[in-house]
């Protein structure tokens, strides 16, 4: 074989090799879909959360707290260890802050976080909020950790692609994909307990996914996977990230959520009210009361005005106002779009923390009750121990509390989703419920407890 022939053969072989290599590279590139890129980018910031808790079981349980405490003096409760798994993501890699669902860690006596690189670190709860089912954990690694990027849940589009990453059934870093099915969903999570304004998705969500991130095609967190319908397929729910951002900041700063307050009492518009105030439709909420010395009073707001937007977010009624204000942080400026005398205008005011000193006033006006600390005599009557609740001292005539049949001497053991073992806890729960038109309480008389809904 001469030199010219050898060169030709070499050139042909080189071309064949090159022809074989190029499609392989192109094929891999075409397989790197947005889902693949998101999983690669965000996966290192997703964690597995393992918890251990001690569960107390009484050998004798009568249903009567007085006798149950009597038996406990003679028979020690039995204890057993319980384990569970969940998901979370690194919110702040510099400070080792991790966001998850409250129900993942609520009863935990020991929490272990496993990172994507298989390191296991002990974690402590920084703060948790039952109203939003969110919690913040802290780990102390050596060096910074990879963190997620947060998106804007107000920009979510129904039908857009979403990716969920979590640890269903303990299978770490499982990736599922789907679309946003609906927005603004309300889901029951317990007796008289609800999560509101959720993102509905059809990405596969299973036990263990709770607390994991819901991501858009750009790899931004737009929600936290939190709930599923056990008997349905393709129906999952996530907490919007804008609410997460506001709650997490409060939990890190204060250890609890501090409700923002503008001092407005609102009611939904009826067709008759809309016609009376010269409105073309029923969008917005009517100002029925402005509390003295409040941000709204100082800004000049008054009865008869209609609030139609908050920070540019349209409001269809009181529930929308409550959801929008729940995402406002104390100390920030709020823009309200109003209709005053048939004319549109906008005012700005700064949100303040709800003044606990006014909780009693709010409970009296809206619920129709005044409460006091539980005394020993009343506790014996109801057969409960100290710290079981607060006692009703007065009931306002004509109030919903009177119509339902509440009386002085009855106990209030819970307001909304939070227990009220003392007066300070009652005030904090009233503050958290101050945007709700109707409030659910757990009342007790003697040995009978019942959930009741109070309000206009």
The catalytic residues are 103, 133, 210
d(CA 239, CA 134): 9
Q: Residue 392 in contact with residue 370, Cβ under 8 Å? A: yes
- CA-wise closest residue to 427 among 355, 323, 326: 355
Only one residue has tokens 């750009």, namely 218
Residue 183 CB neighbours (<10 A)? 15
d(CA 318, CA 204): 33
d(CA 162, CA 202): 9
Only one residue has tokens 């890129």, namely 37
Structure tokens at 316: 């269809």
Contacts (Cβ under 8 Å, ≥6 apart) of 386: 374, 376, 379
Structure tokens at 449: 């407890």
End-to-end CA distance of the chain: 102
Q: Residue 27 in contact with residue 87, Cβ under 8 Å? A: no
């Amino acid at each position: 074989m001469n030199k010219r022939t050898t060169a030709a053969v070499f050139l042909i072989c080189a071309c064949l090799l090159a022809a074989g290599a190029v499609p392989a590279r192109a094929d891999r590139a075409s397989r790197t879909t947005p889902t693949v890129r998101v999983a690669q980018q965000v996966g290192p910031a997703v964690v597995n959360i393992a918890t251990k808790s001690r569960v107390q079981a009484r050998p004798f349980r009568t249903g009567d707290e007085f006798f149950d405490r009597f038996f406990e003096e003679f028979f020690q409760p039995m204890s057993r260890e319980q384990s569970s798994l969940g998901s979370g993501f690194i919110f702040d890699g510099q400070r080792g802050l991790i966001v998850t669902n409250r129900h993942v860690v609520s009863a935990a006596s020991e929490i272990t976080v496993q990172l994507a690189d298989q390191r296991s670190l002990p974690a402590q709860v920084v703060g948790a909020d039952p109203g939003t089912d969110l919690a913040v954990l802290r780990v102390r690694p050596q060096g910074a950790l990879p963190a997620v990027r947060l998106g804007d849940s107000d920009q979510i589009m129904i039908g857009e692609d979403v990716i969920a990453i979590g640890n269903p059934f303990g299978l770490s870093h499982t990736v599922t994909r789907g679309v946003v099915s609906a927005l603004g969903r309300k889901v029951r999570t317990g007796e008289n307990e609800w999560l509101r304004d959720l993102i509905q998705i059809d990405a596969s969500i299973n036990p263990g996914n709770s607390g994991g991130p819901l991501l858009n095609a750009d790899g931004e967190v737009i929600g936290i996977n939190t709930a599923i319908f056990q008997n349905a397929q393709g129906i999952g729910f996530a907490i919007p990230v804008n609410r997460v951002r506001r709650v997490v900041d409060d939990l890190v700063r204060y250890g609890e959520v501090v409700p923002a307050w503008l001092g407005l009492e609102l009611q939904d518009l009826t067709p008759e009210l809309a016609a009376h105030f010269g409105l073309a439709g029923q969008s917005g909420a009517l100002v029925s009361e402005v509390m003295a010395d409040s941000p709204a009073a100082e800004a000049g707001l008054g009865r008869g005005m209609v609030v139609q937007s908050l920070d540019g977010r349209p409001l269809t009624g009181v529930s929308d106002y409550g959801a929008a204000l729940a995402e406002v942080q104390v100390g920030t400026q709020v823009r309200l779009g109003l209709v005053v005398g048939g004319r549109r205008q906008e005012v700005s005011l700064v949100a303040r923390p709800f003044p606990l000193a006014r909780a009693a006033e709010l409970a009296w006006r809206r619920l129709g009750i005044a409460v006091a600390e539980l005394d020993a005599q009343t506790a014996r009557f109801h057969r409960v121990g100290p710290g079981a609740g607060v006692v009703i001292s007065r009931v306002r005539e004509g109030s919903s509390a009177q119509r339902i049949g509440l009386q002085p001497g009855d106990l209030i053991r819970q307001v909304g989703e939070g227990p009220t073992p003392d007066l300070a806890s009652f005030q904090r729960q009233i503050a958290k419920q101050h945007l709700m038109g109707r409030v659910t309480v757990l009342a007790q008389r003697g040995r009978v407890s019942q959930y009741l809904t109070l309000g206009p």
